[in-house]
Amino acid sequence: MSREHMEYLKKLKRGRRLTAAVRILLLALLLGLWEASGRLGLADPFIVSSPSRVVSTALRLYESHDLFPHILTTFYETVVGFVSGTAIGVAAAVLLWFSPFLRRVLDPYLVVLNALPKIALGPILIVWVGAGPGAIIVMALLVSTVVTVMSVLSGFTEQGREREELMRTLGASRLQTFMKAVLPASVPTIMSALKISVGMSWVGVIVGEYLVSKRGLGYLIVYGGQVFKLDLVMASIVILCVLAAIMYYAVAAFEKRIDKRFGRE
Amino acid sequence: MGSDSVASLRGVKLVYHEPSRETLAVDGLDLEVKRGEFLSIVGPSGCGKTSVLSLITGLLTPSEGSVEVLGVSPAEARGRIGYMLQRDALLDWRTIERNVLLGLEVKRALTPESRSRALALLDKYGLGDFRRHYPAELSGGMRQKAALIRTLAAEPELLLLDEPFSALDYQTRILLEDEVRSIIKQGGYTAVLVTHDIAEAICMSDRVVVFSGRPARVKRSVGIDLAGTAFERRSRAGFGALFDLIWKELREE
Ligand SMILES: Nc1ncnc2c1ncn2[C@@H]1O[C@H](COP(=O)(O)OP(=O)(O)OP(=O)(O)O)[C@@H](O)[C@H]1O
Ligand SMILES: [Mg+2]
């Protein structure tokens, strides 16, 4: 390794450290301002809450053995909704790739389904599935399925005719064309669809909990708002942020592993 | 049709149908490709050259007339024809080695022997050191050569090349023309090359067929008997006269 290259690597590392340091500082600054605004009387802590009140609320929940049941309920609903929604979405996209006729027939239906705010279906789901975790999971599943179908299918079809023609001239069957050319080429699209879908599942679950549930973070938020416990609302939102971030990074880590298997950096 | 005919098109007509119009792309075309021959097709832009190659591979079927390839219909000959496109269409998540093996994989003909034969081609044509590289790491000329080797690795009996050099810079192009001609002649392949470049057609092939403007017909067939490699041919005495002859035919269109 040349000296210049070592210098370059050092600079790179310094840059990364600086970014991380500023990030943490920014967080500390925001939390500090939040806390200070209440203590200095700039804002009413009853309305805006504060970091210390959020922490003590969370601790109280934990001590009354309420915290983890709520977290687990929401987490479970999201994971089930996300995984099944994505699986159904990808399977539907594959089916539609294999049948251009079906694709043409269903195109307007998909467009409408995509444009429709799925939340509007909430009351129907409650009647059909029952006012419980089932309805919430179906809501999350619905929201993530539709985005997954749309983005994965466009990934499949935007590969261009060229590769498909190449495969045909090599004598490949439609299945071989899909497995060897279309699917691997769509891995990045599928992965970004997963990232969108995981976010959508959270939306579905929280909205579902707003509507029906007696447990979960969405329920805590609505309940806290109704009884004017803004500390509880803020605490739930902070926990939700952490959970959503964990799940997003889990998907991102999965993406990295898949990319490695397909030989990309 | 003699046994030395690899592809034979008789009275072929091709019409493209679109909702807004129909396009007569090929009409009354007769073309014969003989075994071991290197044939070039030149013609005005949009006259139907690519369409003719698609007819030979069976990607399209003629509206009228007959197409026979290797003694059977194009559909039955699929997998025995190698088609090299203008853009290399290498699969960028596969190494060069695995790209080259794609055709054999698809045909389920990947045996230790066929594999080592295919990889020997990479060595022979100077890409041996790059077999574990990804297409993005290769220059345009190397990628195009890899695409040619991929086509050859499937052991085609007829090789179709659609403007394979048109995306390359001039220097790479001259070098690759030279190399591809010697690969094809040494391997005893039968090849059809479509090009816009008259000089390229003359220095690479045994015969040049000039197409008329759309709809494509064979306007003239010119035998090329210049000695030497593609590069040497450019400075042969007869080169200029052949160039003028073909240029005149094309200009009339
Ligand atoms: N899929 C298609 N549908 C409708 N018309 C087409 C289609 N493909 C080609 N054509 C038309 O047929 C004619 C011949 O096209 P073709 O691509 O065979 O010409 P070409 O000689 O290869 O042209 P170029 O020199 O630009 O490569 C053109 O007028 C083109 O617009
Ligand atoms: Mg063309």
If DSSP codes are grouped into helix, strand and coil, which group holds residue B11? strand
Question: Which residues 162-191 in chain A show a CB within 8 A of chain B?
Answer: 162-163, 165-172, 176, 180-181, 184-185, 187
Does B47 contact ligand 1 (Cβ within 6 A)? yes
The answer to whether the CB of B21 is under 6 A from ligand 1 is no
Alpha-carbon gap: B93 to the closest alpha carbon of chain A (Å): 6
Nearest CA distance, A149 vs chain B (angstrom): 24
Give the chain A residue whose CA is nearest to the CA of B53. Answer: A169
In total, how many domains does chain B have? 1
Of the candidates A213, A195, A209, the one whose C-alpha atom is nearest the C-alpha of residue A240 is A209
Instruction: State the closest ligand 1 atom to the C-alpha of B194, by its place in the atom list counted from 1.
Output: 22
ipTM of the modeled complex: 0.78
Distance between A6 CA and the closest CA of chain B, angstroms: 24
pLDDT confidence tier of residue B227, bands split at 50, 70 and 90: confident
Q: Which ligand is nearest to the CA of B17?
A: 1
Q: How far is the CA of B192 from the centre of ligand 2 (A)?
A: 13
In this predicted structure, what is the pLDDT of residue A1? Answer: 77
- How sure is the predictor about A263, in pLDDT bands with cuts at 50, 70 and 90? low
**Chain B residue with minimum CA distance to A181:** B91
> pLDDT (tens digit, 9 = 90+) per residue, B120-163?
888 888 888 898 899 888 888 888 888 888 888 888 889 999 98
Domain membership of residue B137 as a residue range: 5-251
In short, whether B53's Cβ falls inside 6 Å of ligand 1 is: no
Convert the pLDDT of each residue in A206-253 to its tens digit: 999 998 878 899 999 999 999 999 999 999 999 999 999 999 999 989
Round to whole Å and give the CA distance between A79 and B85: 45
Residue B224 is predicted with a pLDDT of: 84
Residue B225 has pLDDT above 90, yes or no: no
> Taking the CA atoms of chain A, what radius of gyration do you get in angstroms?
24
Nearest residue on chain A to B77, alpha-carbon basis = A171
Confidence of residue A265 (pLDDT cuts 50, 70, 90): very low
SS3 A249: helix
Mean pLDDT of chain A: 90
Average pLDDT, chain B: 87
Which band of pLDDT confidence, cut at 50, 70 and 90, is reported for residue A264? low
Which tens digits make up the pLDDT trace of B162-192? 988 887 788 878 888 888 888 888 888 899 9
Angstrom distance (rounded) from CA A52 to CA A238? 12
- A105 or B124, which is more confident? A105
Which of chain B's residues have a Cβ under 8 Å away from the Cβ of A167? 106
Count of all residues that appear for chain B in the document? 253
Measured between alpha carbons, how far is B64 from B61 in angstroms, rounded to an integer? 9
Mutate to test the interface with A, among B53, B72, B91, B96 (most CBs of A within 10 A): B91
pLDDT for B252 beyond 60:
yes
When mean pLDDT is compared across A56-60, A71-75, B104-108, the lowest value belongs to B104-108
Residue with tokens 């590289």: B133
Structure confidence at residue A35 as a pLDDT band (50, 70, 90): very high
Question: Which pLDDT score is estimated for B3?
Answer: 59
Question: What are A121-139's pLDDT values in tens digits?
Answer: 888 988 998 888 899 999 9
Q: Give CA angle at A115 (A113, A119), nearest 5°.
A: 80
Burial A236-249 (b: 16+ CB within 10 A, else e): bbbbbeebbeebee
**B1 falls in which pLDDT band (50, 70, 90)?**
very low
**Per-residue pLDDT averaged across B47-71, rounded?**
89
Share of chain A above pLDDT 90, in %: 58
User: Probe ligand 1: pick from B29, B45, B51, B209, max atoms within 8 Å of CB?
Assistant: B51
**Confidence class for position B251, pLDDT limits 50, 70, 90:** confident
Work out the pLDDT band at B77, boundaries 50, 70, 90: confident
**Residues in chain A within 8 Å Cβ distance of B57:** 169
B200 has pLDDT over 60: yes
Task: Say yes or no for a CB contact (<8 Å) between A171 and B79.
Answer: yes
Residues of A in contact with B78 (CB under 8 A): 168-169, 171
User: Chain centroid to CA B70: how far?
Assistant: 16
Domain CATH for B94: 3.40.50.300
Gap between the Cα atoms of B157 and B72, Å rounded: 13
Helix ranges (DSSP H) in B85-154: 96-100, 102-106, 112-124, 140-153
Atom of ligand 1 nearest to the CA of B44: 25
